[in-house]
Amino acid sequence: MKSITIVVSSLLVLTLFTQCSSAQFDKKAPFTIGKAYYQDWVGGRATSKGTKVSIEFSDTNSKEIVFDSIFFKGKAIKLKRASYDGKQLVTGNFPTHTITDKNIIMHVDPRKEMGNTVPPPRHASPFELTEKECVISYYIKKKKRYYKLTNLTKEKTIYYP
């Protein structure tokens, strides 16, 4: 009985470490990265602000690559792909505050709090990154890959009306 427990435990640990090793970073991206930068933005309302990460790229296998997510400053968000002035871009917008018009009721009696809605879950980053680093995830032939960018530059803050 003890040997069965050891064998099952060993297989479980081996499986977990195999999964961790599959999240290795690619040494070279399958696309050419041009400019990679981030910039803070501030909206017209007091609580409307955030950070936008943009990565210019060119690739020859655009049909094979499906961009998924970006991990930056401890957060994760889905990437959006776009074309701008003949350049291919992927962007991730990280709002720091969201505006809600609904008041949250806080009361000693929990029955009076029943109308409150649960906030959406936050997606945390599993990577430890510095301020100028981000990780992008993408799929090639249905296999998820990761690439770490270490040279993000900070651009001027954008002020929206």
Burial group, residue 158, by CB count within 10 angstroms (0-12, 13-18, 19+): exposed
- pLDDT band at residue 109, thresholds of 50, 70 and 90? confident
Which pLDDT belongs to residue 3? 58
Between the two ends of the chain, the Cα-to-Cα distance in Å is 70
58 token code pair: 């060119």
User: CA distances (Å), 155 to each of 26, 51, 106, 160, in order?
Assistant: 26, 11, 40, 15
Which pLDDT belongs to residue 78? 93
35 vs 96, more confident: 35
Q: Phi-psi bin for 91: left (phi > 0), alpha (psi -120 to 50), beta?
A: beta
Which pLDDT belongs to residue 97? 64
Summarised one tens digit per residue, pLDDT across range 58-105 is: 865 667 888 999 999 888 899 998 887 878 889 999 888 655 556 677
Cα(2)–Cα(9) distance, integer angstroms? 11
Residue 27: partners with Cβ closer than 8 Å, 6 or more residues away: none
Q: Which of 59, 33, 40 is nearest to 150 (CA)?
A: 33
User: CA distances (Å), 72 to each of 88, 93, 102, 104, in order?
Assistant: 20, 10, 29, 29
38 token code pair: 């981030």
